[in-house]
Amino acid sequence: MKALVFRYSFPRFAFATILGKINPPAYLGPGSPLSLESIPETVTLSDDWIIVQTRLCGICGSDIKQVFLDGNFDNPLTAFVSFPQVLGHEVVGVIKEIGSNVKNHQVGDRVVLSPWLPCVTRGIEPVCDACQRGDYYICEHFTDGTLPAGMHIGNNRQVTGGYAPYFTAHESQLFAIPDSVSFDQAVLADPFSVCLHAILKAPPEDNTLAVVYGCGTLGLMTIAILNAFYPATEVFAITRYRHQEDLAKRFGATYTVLNCNPDDIINRIAEIKETKAYIPWNGKPMLMHGADRIYDTVGSAESIEVGIRLAEPQAKIVITGVDNPARFEWTPLYFKEIEVIGSNAFGIENFDGQRRHSIEIFLDLLAECKLDLSALITHRYPIEHYKDAFLKAHFKEKSNTVKVLFDYGL
């Protein structure tokens, strides 16, 4: 079968980086780490695994960073991946084959994937403490058991992701899609779950101001969740492009700013809060009365620095975005006793008085018509047009892009 394969190769990295800085399509061209190749047909790995025919697969921000080689070689998470990889972890499809010990799924079921590869998928018993809690994304055994190193489907050399017509998954990773829910709705389960997990780590209080920094897929979903479940919270959305601002307003943002200039952002918060902006000898302003919660979906040095400058004393900043490390002026962090919280992926959550997997929560919300985020899907391509798909996903301003899908029905 034809699949998009990403290969770890220093010559490929060097070749693509040098040419890509001059001509970005070179990151996807001949000699680059990514190519459409013929690979062996998918097989079940054991009797509790399942083969799924891919229907839709979203391009995640992490996939974009990897394909355009936007990262550092000293990233410690390189210990938890293996190559070659078939990327793609935001995926829905139809079950085509089940192992003899599969209990909760049948051939023909429409399913959505939770991509993490924790203890139970690796045949490890007893499962680690993190897995017992439902925190599968910080499993202690991502390099152990019956599978190679790899945190989730898409970065493990043995378990192919959704950039292929078929993928395999452990039965525990698949969730049945209700009949009333479309594939277009369900394919957003992964990014929704990332956003819900982040908000639940530091929920906003009523009648306070929450800032959503960045309005790509994660930022816009964060706004939608805040609007749906925390309606007494005012939301200030920091957008980069006009189409993002329009969607932020549509999803319920109280205020928006179409500007990534740090001074303008901080001064706009000062106006909303009717408070003073303090001007230092050099650099950006700082507030002593600002936002109570900041959900940072960018994770850059600049977004973190701006966040701690515009935050209320003892505010909480939750970071879901990932950017390359860089220096920033962080004195307000200790001075205002800001709490910075990292938020990684999703698992079992406390929501509406129950402990449930976030994907189950999402599918129920869709079935009950309480949420519909399918407007975030702006582009779709067959896998053969992967170069166009990645260029659209990377260069958002030119094409008004939010979420790009590979569609195996095209």
Specify whether 181 is located in the same domain as 203: no
Residues 259-273 have a mean pLDDT of 94
* Residue whose tokens read 């938890």: 80
For residues 115 and 252, state if they share a domain: no
- Confidence bin at 113 (pLDDT 50/70/90): very high
The residue assigned the tokens 């958002």 is 396
Distance CA 155, CA 49 (A): 18
Quick check: is 243 in a domain? Answer: yes
The predicted structure's pLDDT at residue 309: 98
Q: How would residue 147 be classed by pLDDT, with cut points 50, 70 and 90?
A: very high
Say if CB 188 and CB 25 are below 8 A apart: no
- Condensed to tens digits (0 to 9), the pLDDT of residues 286-307 reads 999 999 999 999 999 999 999 9
Q: Is residue 277 located within the same domain as residue 139?
A: no
What pTM does this model have? 0.96
350 pLDDT above the threshold of 90: yes
pLDDT at 206 over 90: yes
Residue 16 and residue 79 in one domain: yes
Mean pLDDT of 105-113: 98
CATH of residue 169's domain is 3.90.180.10
Label residue 73 by pLDDT band (50, 70, 90).
confident
Asked if 161 contacts 89 with a C-beta cutoff of 8 angstroms, the reply is yes
Q: pLDDT averaged over the chain? A: 96
Q: What is the CATH number of the domain that holds 287?
A: 3.40.50.720
The predicted pLDDT at position 370 comes to: 94
Quick check: 1 and 42 in contact, CB under 8 A?
A: yes
Number of domains in the chain: 2
> Looking only at Cα atoms, what is the longest distance across the chain?
70
Report the candidate in 74, 84, 92 with the shortest Cα–Cα distance to residue 33.
84
Whether residue 18 is found in the same domain as residue 134: yes
For residue 231, pLDDT beyond 90: yes
Name the 3-class secondary structure at 152.
strand
Tell me which residue of 396, 60, 65 sits closest to 241, measured CA to CA: 396
218 and 239 part of one domain: yes
The confidence score (pLDDT) of residue 410 equals 85
Range of the domain at 237: 191-342
257 with 179, same domain?
Answer: no
What's the confidence (pLDDT) of residue 72? 84
Q: Tell whether 11 and 148 lie within a shared domain.
A: yes
| Lowest mean pLDDT, pick from 101-110, 207-216, 252-261, 269-278 | 252-261
Do 65 and 132 belong to one domain? yes
Cα dihedral 233, 238, 244, 249, rounded to 10, equals: 30
Residue 349 inside a domain? The answer is: no
CA distance 308 to 319: 12
* Banded model confidence at residue 398, pLDDT cuts 50, 70, 90: confident
- Give the pLDDT of residue 260: 79
Cα–Cα distance for residue pair 169/148, rounded to 1 Å: 14
Examine the domain organization and report whether 126 and 197 are in the same domain.
Answer: no
> Does 227 lie in the same domain as 139?
no
Q: What is the pLDDT of residues 251-260, one digit of tens each?
A: 999 999 997 7
Sign of the CA dihedral 145, 150, 153, 155? negative
